[in-house]
Amino acid sequence: MDCLFSLFSFVYIQLSFCLKEKNMSVFRVVGGPQNYAWGKLGSSSAVARYAAANDPEHVKIDENTPYAELWMGTHPKVPTIVYETGKPLSELIAQNPSKYLGDKVIAKFGSSKELPFLYKVLSIKKVLSIQAHPDKKLAQQLHASDPEHYPDDNHKPEMAVAITDFEAFCGFKPLAAIKHELETIPEFAELVGEKATKDFIANPSKENLKNVFHRVMSSDETFIAEVATKLVKRSVEEPSLFGNELADLIQRLNEQFPKDVGLFCGCLMLNHCNLKSGEAMFLQAREPHAYISGDIMECMAASDNVIRAGFTPKFKDVEVLVSSLTYSTNPVEEQKQPPAPFPRGSGDAKFALYDPPIDEFSVLQIKFDNAGKAQMKGIDGPSIVIVTEGTGKLNQNDENISLDAFEGGVYFIAPGAEVELVNESSKPFILYRAFCEA
């Protein structure tokens, strides 16, 4: 009888906990790490450290393994898990969409179980492929015709917020800069060809930029390797011709991808952007870019569509890429996403809002320099929070919830939930919150 009573008590406690968990507005979740070749090795990777701290039972850091991305969201490729139940976050959301997404978000984006955004940490040791992402119309067409290479029918604008010093390619250089390179770097003109080079120098236009880019991307691989060898040699012997920074970049990336077309379509044609910790850049759909090194928070519309160009052994869809780009030539500073105030945050923390001109996501940095408390009013949509530095508390006082907030800890916040953050030490405590508010 005592055994039966104990069993009943255990089942009752577990059922009560599950019912309570299903109605909690703030709870811990577990993202999934990805081991791509370009990631930083072992514990040098923020991805590895965060993943191991948040899921120590399943993630043991191998110092010889690259840890590239930590996914946080409901994308089916790497679904985030509710920590206490071990079930996908999407299942919990589907049980009560109004509570976990909010009616406005459901009405706008049409899903009753998926977040409109995908949130990631990236740790980059080796340059990622030069790539662009389709807009909604093109994404639907590509997914319908080639679902193997384009698994989603959604667009993929994205934003990168630097955690450490970070460098990237972002958009085409100004036309005058590309003209100067064609005039002064013989290997660039040789690859592009005499007619296309003359046409561009005579008339540096978007149409002629498209032609130059197409000539580069459609060149024979043997010819690319031959000309790239001469380009790298010249960057060593005549660095002043390129500028020391560009010469160094060509040599570094050639070590990672020897004789690759990316030395031309990336190093010579795209803006080279450097961000300090806390700086951000926003990348619209149909804009070429590539991440080169550093650790970042990345947020994007919920899609995994990529059209690749260079620095990759993977599938390159040259004709789709060339035809889909906007060929805008904005300077680097216009690619950056400056932080804005966040009036719904108060207390001892500093709030910096990165709010790009799209509906799917915004990212909020919350930073404590010293001990203290801060409050955030409710947001009319779902949020995912990750701690990138320090330890503290994440409280939802209306429901008597207090969670340990530690480096690498990941948390879901339901729409409307007011949250208190506490830093109990004199050391910095930094969090990043991705959210959607229709």
Binding residues: 131, 133, 158, 289
**Residue at 330 is within a domain:** no
**Residues 114 and 186 placed together within one structural domain of the fold:** no
**Residues 85 and 106 placed together within one structural domain of the fold:** yes
Q: Does residue 286 have an active-site annotation?
A: no
247-265 burial code (b ≥16 CB/10 A, e <16)? bebbbebbeebebbbbbbb
**Residue at 297 is within a domain:** no
Per-residue model confidence as pLDDT tens for the chain (438 residues): 444 334 434 333 343 344 344 579 999 999 999 999 999 999 999 999 999 999 999 999 999 999 999 999 999 899 999 999 999 999 999 999 999 999 999 999 988 899 999 999 999 999 999 988 877 677 677 667 767 666 665 557 889 999 999 999 999 999 999 999 999 999 999 999 999 999 999 999 999 999 999 999 999 999 999 999 999 999 999 999 999 999 999 999 999 999 999 999 999 999 999 999 999 999 888 889 999 999 999 999 876 667 877 888 777 778 888 888 999 998 888 889 999 999 999 999 999 999 999 899 999 999 999 999 999 999 999 999 999 999 999 999 999 999 999 999 999 999 999 999 999 999 999 999 999 998
**Residues 117 and 197 placed together within one structural domain of the fold:** no
Q: Pick the catalytic residue: 28, 308, 344, 433?
A: 308
Q: Residue 367: CB partners within 8 Å, gap ≥ 6?
A: 349, 350, 351, 352, 428, 429, 430, 431
Cβ 182 vs Cβ 215: under 8 Å: no
**Residues 162 and 38 placed together within one structural domain of the fold:** yes
**Residues 193 and 161 placed together within one structural domain of the fold:** no
| Amino acid making up residue 104 | K
**Residues 123 and 184 placed together within one structural domain of the fold:** no
Which residue, of 253, 268, 283, is where some domain finishes?
A: 268
Which residue, of 216, 238, 268, is where some domain finishes?
A: 268
Number of domains in the chain: 3
Q: DSSP string of 256-276?
A: HSTT-THIIIIIITEEEEEE-
Domain coverage including residue 52: 31-166
**Residues 148 and 204 placed together within one structural domain of the fold:** no
**Residues 155 and 67 placed together within one structural domain of the fold:** yes
Binding residues for Zn(2+): 131, 133, 158, 289
Angstrom distances, CA of residue 154 to CA of 240, 294, 303, 418? 44, 27, 6, 31
How many CB atoms within 10 Å of residue 120? 24
Entry pTM: 0.90
Angstrom distances, CA of residue 187 to CA of 81, 130, 184, 233, 335? 51, 20, 9, 10, 28
Q: Residue 407: CB partners within 8 Å, gap ≥ 6?
A: 49, 50, 53, 387, 388, 389, 390, 391
Q: Half-sphere exposure of 428 toward its Cβ, with a 13 Å CA cutoff? A: 9
173-198 burial code (b ≥16 CB/10 A, e <16)? bebebbbebbeebebbbebbeeebbe
Cα distance between residue 153 and residue 434, in whole Å: 22
Q: Could you tell me the CATH number of the domain that includes residue 60? A: 2.60.120.10
Contacts 24+ apart (CB under 8 A), 133-137: 133/157, 133/158, 133/283, 133/285, 133/286, 133/303, 133/305, 133/306, 133/307, 134/285, 134/286, 134/305, 134/307, 134/324, 135/285, 135/286, 136/285
**Residues 121 and 178 placed together within one structural domain of the fold:** no
Cα distance between residue 300 and residue 296, in whole Å: 13
**Residues 158 and 63 placed together within one structural domain of the fold:** yes
Cα distance between residue 37 and residue 214, in whole Å: 28
What tokens appear for 289 in the block?
């870019």
Which residue, of 166, 185, 214, is where some domain finishes?
A: 166
Q: Could you tell me the CATH number of the domain that includes residue 220? A: 1.10.441.10
